[in-house]
Amino acid sequence: GAVVSQHPSWVICKSGTSVKIECRSLDFQATTMFWYRQFPKQSLMLMATSNEGSKATYEQGVEKDKFLINHASLTLSTLTVTSAHPEDSSFYICSAPSGSGNPYEQYFGPGTRLTVT
């Protein structure tokens, strides 16, 4: 089946620094990828839709200047958390439609645990 990977799986950074998280579709191409944020034992909150070759679409309340998304190729989307603060500490998950033509058939990455100290 289709596989989505994320790198790194966890990262610790100091307050004020920036962190980049990668999301890759390993055996299929994805013109669209989705970025979610998950707090412990809570729901996944959709942050933005990453679009290959164009700007990302952000959900209401998500700061686009803080969470920079770049969909550089058909297999890679990156999320950069700029000037990170402790409240940005969370679990970030990406997903991508499988490429079967059915947008509802999505595959999720394993997530990236970000801790800002």
Partner 1 sequence: AQRVTQPEKLLSVFKGAPVELKCNYSYSGSPELFWYVQYSRQRLQLLLRHISRESIKGFTADLNKGETSFHLKKPFAQEEDSAMYYCALSGRNQGGKLIFGQGTELSVKP
For residue 62, state whether it binds partner 1 (rule: CB under 8 A). no
Options 11, 45, 62, 68; binder of partner 1; rule CB under 8 A: 45
In terms of CB distance, is 90 or 95 closer to partner 1? 95
For residue 31, the minimal CB distance to partner 1 (Å) is: 10
Options 75, 95, 112, 116; binder of partner 1; rule CB under 8 A: 95
Q: How far is CA 58 from CA 46, 64, 65, 68, in A?
A: 9, 7, 10, 10
Find all residues with CB under 8 Å of 33, minimum gap 6, and list them: 23, 25, 49, 50, 71, 77, 94, 95, 96
For residue 84, state whether it binds partner 1 (rule: CB under 8 A). no
Query: Which H or E run contains 35?
Result: strand 32-38
> Which positions lie near partner 1, rule CB under 8 A?
32, 34, 36, 41-46, 49, 93, 95, 97, 103-106, 108-111
